[in-house]
Structure 1
Amino acid sequence: MDKETLTNLKSELLRIREDRAISVVIITGAGNKAFSSGVNVHEFEQLDPQNAREFITLLKEICETLRKMPQAVIAAINGYCIGGAMELAMAADFRIATTHASFGMPEIKLGIPSVLDAALLEKYVGLNLAKEMLLIGDMVDVERINQFGLINQVVDSKDLRHTVDKYADKILLNPPETVAIQKRLFETWQNTHLEMAIQDSINEFSLAFATDIPHKQIADFLADKK
């Protein structure tokens, strides 16, 4: 994902949010290799504190839109789900994953803190695994992460679309107005303090670029890829 992709995604989600003919939103990746490998590392190369804040705020607005839009959101996770993509998945209402899916928050390897909906990670996977994922940055397979209930259902790749459609069909049996109300209530119940946590994480993200650490780590990361 790059800034252009995220900008387009935000625009499309805002359009869908206002379309009362749409009751269920499904987000997924093309093919069967990845839901998304996250933000393109090159996006971070030239960031300074100001444009780092602008960039991460864009991703924050997308996650917030997914959480707060009146439609039910299903993330169909068809492979790697990394960094910002995992934050998008956590912002969805349902997560259906394939047996080969894997999850990671590797920002720390780039000298950047994991932020935004990573604030929810402890709720979803417990403090120990959340710290392991955020402080070490290694990938976690779907079997391990689902011991904590992050995923609604794990299925074979060939069954992903059918399973997602079954969830969507069940949601469509309910009044969309009530689904919207229930989603608003979940926001009230679960995330009373989330906005404060996210704003603090945005500050920390932008301040990380006041040092040389992210740029050095990113340069090393890209050099290893060559």
Structure 2
Amino acid sequence: MQAINDYCSVTRTATGIAQLTITNAGSLNIMNSAVMNGVREGLELLAQDRDIRALVVRGSGEKSMIGGADIKEMATLDQASAEKFITTLRDLCEAARQFPAPVIARLRGWCLGGGLEFAAACDLRIASEDAKFAMPEVKVGIPSVIHAALLPRLIGWGRARWLILMAATIDAPTALNWGLVDQVVPDSDLDQAIEVVARGVADCAPEAMRNQKALLRQWEELPLTESVNLSIGVFGQSFLTGEPQRHMQAFLDRRK
């Protein structure tokens, strides 16, 4: 494992899978401003490495990926510093959304508030059976903001309202049923399941995968007709990379 900075480290495989581990953030990997900036900087640095085909994000230990934002720090904020703090969290979540390769969230234990917002900003979410999810902000006097806006797109407006307005805690099977996570596995099988998913992503054509992630991100924001028409140019440009020719010819050769 190679340290990127005080708050995150990375491991890499020869097949293009990288794993970013959040460090020095306590047993629950709580996000204060320094941790958020450090992890964001790590993501932005790794985003420049075109050899990375899939990125797994995990926390240190097994209690959480990100337990949530730091209430001790938030308790000291005024309006200006609160806006600066939440902008820092927004930038961290956007670093995951904008990462060129798919980002896989490894979810164990607690995933609360800002931690769930970060998980929602990842492309794929694999959870262990012990994972629990909540948006408890209204219980401590603040609204759920920034990438909580992704939740209605993931689980629908009704369930997003329930999760946010009730500050309800849901377990992993419920999160799977709602579509909040993509897969739930026994705790002991989590790393194996993530490896299978990461390999599946990494085995695909890398330029096509980067284009696909970018399209999915744009589809979240654009009207339907604009999304459809935008895709035409991306499809055509993909043939400039040589990937379609190589992969399609390999497919045809296997059928001979």
Q: So what's the TM-score if we normalise by structure 1?
A: 0.82
- Give the alignment partner of residue 186 of structure 2, picking from 156, 178, 185: 156
CA contact (8 A) 1:83 1:104 kept: yes
Amino acid corresponding to residue 105 of structure 1 in structure 2: M
Residues 11-52 of structure 1, C-alpha deviations (whole Å, 9 max, x = no match): 101100111122211111222222222011011112111111
Q: Deviations over 1:194-225 (max 9, x none)?
A: xxxxxxxxxxxxxxxxxxxxxxxxxxxxxxxx
Aligned pairs (5 A) from 1:1-226 = 1-192=31-222
Give the Cα separation in 2 of the matches to 1:59 and 1:192. 24
Q: Determine the C-alpha separation between the residues in 2 that align with 1:13 and 1:127.
A: 30
- Separation in structure 2 between the aligned mates of residue 174 and residue 187 of structure 1, nearest angstrom: 19
CA contact (8 A) 1:32 1:157 kept: no
Residue 126 of structure 1, CA deviation: 2.2
CA deviation map 1:124-160 (0-9, x unaligned): 2222221122112121111112212221110011110
Paired residue secondary structure (2:68): coil
SS at 1:108's partner residue? helix
RMSD: 1.3
* C-alpha deviation, 1:170, in angstroms: 0.9
More helix by share: 1
1:220 matched residue in structure 2: none
Alpha-carbon separation, structure 1, partners of 2:77 and 2:166: 23
Other structure's SS at 1:36 match: coil
Could you say which residue in structure 2 is the equivalent of 1:222? none
Whichever structure has more strand as a proportion of its residues is 2
Q: Stretches of 4+ moved more than 6 A in 1?
A: none
Q: Residues 95-135 of structure 1, C-alpha deviation per residue, up to 9 Å, x if partnerless? A: 00001111001011111110111111112222222112211
CA distance in 2, matches of 1:150, 1:104: 11
User: Larger Rg: 1 or 2?
Assistant: 2
Choose between structure 1 and 2 for higher RCO, CA contacts under 8 A separated by at least 6 residues: 1
Q: Secondary structure at the match of 1:171?
A: helix
What percentage of aligned pairs have identical amino acids? 35
Whether contact under 8 Å (1:82, 1:105) holds in the other structure is: yes
- Equivalent-residue separation in structure 2 for 1:62 and 1:180 (angstroms): 20
User: After the TM superposition, which of the residue ranges 152-161 and 172-181 deviates more from structure 2?
Assistant: 172-181
Aligned length: 193
Q: What is the deviation of 1:172?
A: 1.1
